[in-house]
């Protein structure tokens, strides 16, 4: 069975700080990896995804993530965060097909002005 582990459940940063949120997954086959963001009171939005190819993927709003196969990791980064980045961030994995996404427990990110 696949699983996703997000190491940081709550992160508090000041504006302009650099961000890295950890994500490790467990899956026995080819994986598709995702980061989703959920702003307060809103639905999930896709930040970025990795299917294959360049392991460094760039997403919306200045976010990027690096797939490191040997470490089963897909960490999310942003060099300089803004107050508007305050949200819940979810790492997710799927093997494709119709088996749906397996989510990590989320990281609640608070950016202080």
Partner 1 sequence: DTAVSQTPKYLVTQMGNDKSIKCEQNLGHDTMYWYKQDSKKFLKIMFSYNNKELIINETVPNRFSPKSPDKAHLNLHINSLELGDSAVYFCASSPGQGKQYFGPGTRLTVT
**Which of 34, 35, 63, 74 lies at the binding interface for partner 1 (CB under 8 A)?**
34
- What is the C-alpha separation between 113 and 92, in angstroms, rounded? 29
Cβ distance to partner 1 smaller for residue 72 or 103: 103
The footprint of partner 1 on residues 1-30 (CB under 8 A) is none
Considering only residues 48 to 107 of the shown chain, the ones binding partner 1 according to CB under 8 A are 49, 51, 88, 90, 94-103, 105-106
The single residue among 12, 16, 46, 68 that binds partner 1, judged by CB under 8 A, is 46
Out of 3, 14, 42, 112, name the contact with partner 1 by CB under 8 A. 42
Helices (H) and strands (E) in the chain, counts: 0, 12
Q: Torsion angle of alpha carbons 101, 103, 107, 108, nearest 10°?
A: 70
Give Cα separations from 7 to 3, 53, 91, 97, 100 (angstroms): 13, 26, 11, 27, 22
Neighbour tally for 67: CB within 10 Å: 21
Nearer to partner 1, 62 or 95 (CB): 95
User: Interface with partner 1 by CB under 8 A: which residues?
Assistant: 32, 34, 36, 38, 42-46, 49, 51, 88, 90, 94-103, 105-106, 108
């Amino acid at each position: 069975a696949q699983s996703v582990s997000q190491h940081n459940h709550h992160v508090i940063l000041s504006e302009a700080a650099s961000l890295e949120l950890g994500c490790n997954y467990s899956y026995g086959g080819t994986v598709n990896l995702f980061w989703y963001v959920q702003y307060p009171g809103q639905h999930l939005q896709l930040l970025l995804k990795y299917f294959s190819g360049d392991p460094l993927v760039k997403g919306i709003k200045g976010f990027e993530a690096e797939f490191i196969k040997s470490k089963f990791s897909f960490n999310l980064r942003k060099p300089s965060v803004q107050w508007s980045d305050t949200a819940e961030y979810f790492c997710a994995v799927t093997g494709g097909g119709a088996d749906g996404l397996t989510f990590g427990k989320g990281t609640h990110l608070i950016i202080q002005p």
